[in-house]
Amino acid sequence: MGLINIGFGNLVNTDKVICVVSPDGAPVKRLVQHCKEDGRVVDATAGRKTKSVIVCESDRIVLSALVPETLKSRLEAVYSGGS
């Protein structure tokens, strides 16, 4: 198990992450809206613009103000044994 910082001191369990996507596409916007209606969104943006959507197991999504490339490098660091 590993945790990554997704911005503003918020952490996500890397074992539960399915994918990290940009929020700009219409399908992702629909997913975010649907999850908001169902109460399955964790907003970790601290009031900033959403720059990535983290899709997790258990039908939850997490909104982050960090770009997907930053989260990718942090996930790679966890899986390669870095800190």
Please say whether the beta carbons of 64 and 45 come within 8 A.
yes
pLDDT, tens digit, 9 for 90 and up, residues 16-58: 999 999 999 999 999 999 999 999 999 999 999 999 999 999 9
- Distance set, CA 75 to CA 25, 27, 38, 39, 72 (Å): 22, 24, 28, 26, 5
Please say whether the beta carbons of 56 and 62 come within 8 A.
yes
The confidence band for 12, taking pLDDT boundaries of 50, 70 and 90, is very high
| Number of domains making up the chain | 1
Domain that holds residue 12: 3-79
Q: According to the model, what pLDDT value does residue 45 have?
A: 98
